[in-house]
Each structure stands twice: as structure tokens, then as C-alpha cells.
Structure 1
Amino acid sequence: MKIALIVTLLAAFLIFSSFVSRAIERLGRSKSVTLYRVKYISKTVRLVATILFFILLFLVLGIEYSQVSLFLSSVFAVIGIALFAQWSILSNITASLIIFFVFPYRVGDRVKVVDGDDDICGRIEEISLFHVIIKRNGDLITYPNSLILQKPVVKMAGQCPPEEHKDPQKEQKARKDGQDTAKDEEASA
């Protein structure tokens, strides 16, 4: 009886895994996503499905829940500590999954990332596992996935406005002059 159930679970897992992989590939083609990203997302989803399959398999084999949960909690604790030590990697990978499914911009789109005083405007060259590469005036800018989800992104209809080149010495002098003016006003008051 258990063998038939295990074979059924294995068949269901293989069918589900194949179906999900094909669905992700179709979604990737419809969104014009690179093959690298499609394979990455597909592998991630298959990994989660494999973990769930083994949990079900352990339960079917009669291994007690407490033994399975102890083993899994130990594994996840080690993984959690390792990922906490590298939280930026984990946040970029998570952002990569979100970008794959819901990011409204594609490779080739002209965008502007609104980032305080230093807006980044250019054409998306690549969306990878950890970052989005934007080409601006011949320069390649690497922008982390986790940050691009936190900043407003504008899809530009035309060309980006010309880039202003700031002179750090002039900016420093302007700040100093502003501070001197404020001190003069305080002294006269």
C-alpha cells in the first residue's frame, strides 16, 4: 500500500514539476525575459516543490512528524543563519523573484530611477539575479534588485534629459557660502 502511495506521489511530483517549468517558460517568453532568468526561477520553484515532496514522503513512510520537524528546523536554522549573514544577497534574490513576476519594465525599455539628487536615466540592458544593468551615455550602471523595487521607476517615452555634470568644488563652495550667510544672519539678529 505504501509503495503505491509513494509511486503516486512521485508521479504527481514529476507531473507538477514539469507543468510548473513549462508555465514559467511560457511566462518568461511572454514577458521577453532572458533564458538565464527563466531557468533560475524554474530551479527555485522546483527546489521548493522538491522540499515539499520529501516532507510528504516522510509523512507517508511513517516517520514521525517530530523527527521530520526536528531535522527540517535544524536545516532551516543553518540556512537562516547563513542567509542572515548575507542578508543583501537574500534580499536581492527575493527581489529578483518579484521582478520576474511583476516588474512592468523589460530589457530595452528606457527608464528613470528616481533616487534623490542622482536620478539614473537610461536603457535597461539586462535584468539578472542580483541587479538591473542600465546603460546611460555609454556607461553601464549596476543597480541592485532590492533597491530598484524601493525606488520610483519611470518609463521614459523619449530620450533621457541630458546629464548634468556637477562640479564638486563648486558645490562645496556653495555650501560654505550658504553656511557663512546663515552665520551672518544669526550675528545680525
Structure 2
Amino acid sequence: MTFFKDYANEIIISSVIVVVVGVLRLISNKLVRRFAKTSHKIEYRTNLVTKYIHILINILAIIALIIIWGVQQKDIIWAISSMATVVGVAMFAQWSILSNITAGVILFFSFPFKIGDSIKIHDKDFPIIGEIVDIAAFHIVLKTIEGEEVVYPNNLLFQKGISILPTHHEEKEFTD
């Protein structure tokens, strides 16, 4: 019983943080889904972006809880710098993975093409014309006129010029 008396403030503030994290997760989820609905983004990509935002919120909450429970700032800085060093060394060889994830999030929020659009990637050595079949966290999948599927990394979409080609759909009557 003395634990609750000794740490009453920390327990109350920690409870508030847990509630705030829940509320922030709900709000961010609703905002991303509203943005996706108004911009006609697909569910899979919406879930990816939501997951990234939730991870960021959770990391910030963990840092706040560590500070509230009295861990010294120098210990926190030492632990974070050690983790950052390990992650930095590990990610140095894998920087393209991180850049592809970042590019995937940017594509979700800002780029004007979507699944079904035909695009031309202006690559000097290997130009590609195809229809976007899928947009994932790390890459897009294009289907060329020849029927070949090309997997193209998201980060290269920011390095190359891209033209969105006009699509000519035949007028068809759809039936169930």
C-alpha cells in the first residue's frame, strides 16, 4: 500500500498519458482515414501510414513515462544515443529501406498518381511506361504494355521525372 502512497503523482500522470495516447491514436486514425477517403487512397496504404503514426506516438509516450518515473536525463540521453548508434550502424547498410518507407508515406499524402494510372518514368538508361498495379510501403508495381510486371522502388520515384499519361477507358455498361 505504501507504493501507491509514495508514487501517487507518477501513477496519476502515467494514467493520464495512457489516456492521451489512446485519444491521440484515435484522432490520428480518424484524420488519416478522412484524408484517405477524400483523396481516394486505398485501405492498405492508409493502414501503413496509421501504423507509422502510432509507432511515433508510442515512442513519445514511452519517453514521457521514463521521464515521469524519475530516470535521470543523462541516463536517458546515454541510452538513446547508444540505441541510435546501434540502429545507425545497422541502418547504414539498409538506408534504402528507410528511404523507401519515407517515400511511401510521402507518396500517400502528396503524389498525384494512384493505382490504375498509366505513368512514364523518365530514366535515361531504362525508361518505363506502365500502369500502376500496386503501391506498397517500399515499392510500386507497374504492368507494362508487354504484360511484364516491374517493381520500382519508391525512393527512385522522387529522383526521376514522372509523367502521368492520359487514360482512355472504353465506355462500358457494368452489370452485376
Q: TM-score range by the shorter chain?
A: 0.7 to 0.9
Kindly state the Cα deviation for residue 158 of structure 1 after the two structures are TM-superposed.
4.2
Does the Cα contact within 8 Å between 2:117 and 2:167 map onto a contact in 1?
Answer: no
CA 1:3 to 1:102, structure 2 compared with 1: closer, same or farther past 3 Å? same
- Pick one of 57, 69, 87 that aligns with 1:49: 57
1:65 is aligned to 2:43: no
Question: TM (normalized to structure 1)?
Answer: 0.78
Gaps spanning 5+ residues in structure 2: where? Answer: 1-8, 169-176
1:87-111 Cα shifts (integer Å, max 9, x gaps): 2212111111111111111111111
Q: Indicate the percent of aligned positions where both proteins have the same amino acid.
A: 32
1:148 is aligned to 2:160: no
- Pick one of 68, 91, 95 that aligns with 1:87: 95
Match of 1:24 in 2: 32
1:125-160 Cα shifts (integer Å, max 9, x gaps): 11111111111111111111010111111111246x
Question: TM (normalized to structure 2)?
Answer: 0.83
Structure number with the higher helix fraction is: 1
Q: Give, as a single letter, the amino acid of the residue that structure 1 aligns with 2:133.
A: E
The structure 1 segments of at least 4 consecutive aligned residues displaced by more than 3 Å after TM superposition are none
Task: Determine the C-alpha separation between the residues in 2 that align with 1:81 and 1:32.
Answer: 38
Kindly state the Cα deviation for residue 62 of structure 1 after the two structures are TM-superposed.
1.7
Does the Cα contact within 8 Å between 1:31 and 1:106 map onto a contact in 2?
Answer: no
CA 1:62 to 1:35, structure 2 compared with 1: closer, same or farther past 3 Å? same
Match of 1:135 in 2: 143
Task: Determine the C-alpha separation between the residues in 2 that align with 1:126 and 1:32.
Answer: 14
Match of 1:176 in 2: none
1:115-134 Cα shifts (integer Å, max 9, x gaps): 11532112111111111111
Larger mean CA deviation between 91-100 and 21-30 belongs to 21-30
Task: Determine the C-alpha separation between the residues in 1 that align with 2:80 and 2:125.
Answer: 46
- Pick one of 124, 127, 139 that aligns with 1:119: 127
Gaps spanning 5+ residues in structure 1: where? Answer: 160-189
Does the Cα contact within 8 Å between 2:141 and 2:149 map onto a contact in 1?
Answer: yes
1:157 is aligned to 2:166: yes
Q: Give, as a single letter, the amino acid of the residue that structure 2 aligns with 1:153.
A: I
Larger mean CA deviation between 35-44 and 46-55 belongs to 35-44
User: CA-atom RMSD, angstroms?
Assistant: 1.5
Aligned residues: 159
